[in-house]
Structure 1
Amino acid sequence: MPGAFKQTLFALIAASSFASFVLILVAMGTPKWMTGKILCKTGAELVNATDPELVKFIGEIYYGLFGGGKMRKCGLGGRRSKFTIFPHLVKQLNTTLHVLIVFFLCAAFSFALASLGFCIFNIIKVPYRAIQGPAGIALWNFLAGGFAVLVVTSFMAAVKLHNLTERIANFRENVFQFVILEEQYEDSFWLCVASAAVHGVNLLLVAISGIRFPTLKTKTEEANVTAEDIMY
């Protein structure tokens, strides 16, 4: 059985791996990865709206990996609508990149579960292979954290380089054109960042578990041998 110190560290890693798994599931299930303000450019140009009047043409949008919604304002009040990314909207986006983001997210929570399982195994049993010892736990945490980082960077690339918000805002808009005034990453996005950070901390804990601390040994008293001891 591993020592009490290692068991405590492995228990902490197991708890944080489970927390990372929950964070990723919550992030996948919520539709607010990004929010923003959208301007109905066509409507504003038609009436030649000035700054005080532009409020009537500024709506809102939010979306996640699988759907979202928006409120469009084109001078006649707000109109709310919802949309789903799959199967139609994804064709208007960078399909490969968006599918990769979903794949990376699934891989991240799968390896987080693997880390949890291997931590429990190492708490109750002495590892007899490197892949099942601290090296194995480090491997699964590295993979889980790496895929979480890929999710974050890929989503940021889709937003900044491929105009993700603008493409979604103009989906099925045949008359009006919308431009993005403001974008803001929301809680679900930051949950993925937190998941990556959790696995980074786990790697540090695995490194600490490999440190061999010096043990204090009590000095044994020298035995006094007498003639009677030799005889008997």
Structure 2
Amino acid sequence: MPGCFKQTVFAFIAALSFASFILILVAMGTQKWMMAKILCKTGAELVNATDPELVKFMGELYYGLFGGGKMRQCGLGGRHSRFTIFPHLVKKLNTSLHVVIILFLCVAFSFALVSLGFCILNILKVPYRAIKGPGGIALWNVLAGSFAVLAVSSFMAAVELHNLTERIANFREHVFQFVILEEQYQHCFWLCVASATIHGVNLLLVAVSLIHFPTLKTKPEEANVTAEDIMY
């Protein structure tokens, strides 16, 4: 059974692993990964709108992994609409990349739970000889953090390289064409970044748990032997 110091460190790692699991679940369930300002290019060109008039053709768009919403303005006031990624919109996107992002996040929070379980087992007892102690905990945190980083990187690639926001903005738009004026990552995206950072912190804590602090030993008192003790 590990000492009191290691138990404390493992308990802290377990709490962080559970926090990482919750962060990923919240990020996947909330549709606030990206916010963008969109311009109805077709409407602005039809009326030859100048800079002060372009405000009437600017709308907003937000989306996540499974859906989002859009407020479109084409000169006649704003119109709000909601959409879902599955099953129709995903066909207009890079389907394989979008599915891979979701799979990476699922694997990441699964390994976060495994890390939590092994921390608890290491607090109580050593679970398995092959992956016992800090080495096993470090392994699961490396895997969980790596898949979270892969998910975040894949989402950024979809946005920057595959024009994800523009494709979503022009979904089911047969008359008007929308262009992206501004994009900004929202809190759900940063929750996944925080989850990956947590596993990096866990690796540092695992390294701390390997530190062996010197134990203070009391010096035994020397016995005073007298002549009377020898006689008796």
Q: TM-score range by the shorter chain?
A: over 0.9
Name the counterpart of 2:108.
Answer: 108
Q: What residue identity is the alignment partner of 1:89?
A: L
Residue 140 of structure 1: aligned partner: 140
Counterpart residue identity of residue 13, structure 1: I
Judge conservation of contact 2:126–2:132 (CA < 8 Å) in 1: no
CA deviation vs aligned residue, 1:53-75 (integer Å, no higher than 9, x gap): 10010000000000001011001
What is the match of residue 86 of structure 2?
86
Query: Aligned residue for 1:188?
Result: 188
The match for 2:9 is: 9
Q: What amino acid does structure 1 have at the position aligned with 2:116?
A: L
Distance in 1 (CA, whole Å) between partners of 2:125 and 2:74 is 65
Matched residue pairs, number?
A: 232
Q: Which residue is equivalent to 1:213?
A: 213
Structure 1 residues 228 and 118, CA, compared in 2 at 3 Å: closer, same or farther? farther
- Quick one: distance in 2 between partners of 1:204 and 1:62? 36
Contact 2:118 2:127 in 1 (8 A): no
Listed as ranges, the gaps of 5+ residues in structure 1 are none
Q: What TM-score do you get using the length of structure 2 for normalisation?
A: 0.96
3-state SS, counterpart of residue 181 of structure 1? strand
- Matched position secondary structure for 1:111: helix
TM-aligned CA deviation for residue 151 of structure 1? 1.1
Aligned residue in 2 for 1:95: 95
Match for residue 157 of structure 2?
157
Q: Are residues 1:48 and 2:54 paired?
A: no
How far the C-alpha of 1:165 sits from its partner, in A, is: 0.1
Mapped to 2, the partners of 1:228 and 1:116 lie a distance apart of 65
Where do 4+ consecutive residues of structure 1 move more than 3 Å?
222-232
Change (3 A) 1:229 1:103: farther
Q: Root-mean-square deviation (CA), in Å?
A: 1.6
Deviation digits for residues 114-153 of structure 1, max 9, x if unmatched? Answer: 0000000000114551413111100111111111111111
State the one-letter code of the partner of 1:157.
A
3-state secondary structure, aligned to 2:184: strand
Moved more, 129-138 or 149-158: 129-138
Is 2:77 the counterpart of 1:77? yes
Q: Secondary structure at the match of 1:131?
A: coil
Distance of aligned partners of 1:72 and 1:218 in 2 relative to their CA distance in 1, 3 Å threshold: same
**TM-score, normalized by length of structure 1?**
0.96
Q: Is the 8 A contact 2:35 2:62 kept in 1?
A: yes
Q: Which is further off, 91-100 or 221-230?
A: 221-230
Extract unaligned runs of 5+ from structure 2: none
Sequence identity percentage: 83
SS of aligned partner of 2:131: helix
Structure 2: distance between partners of 1:99 and 1:140: 23
Residue 226 of structure 1: how far off its partner (Å): 6.8
CA distance in 1, matches of 2:30, 2:159: 18
Instruction: Describe the superposition over 1:39-92 as per-residue Cα deviations: whole angstroms up to 9, x where unpaired.
Output: 000000000000011001000000000000101100111111111111111111
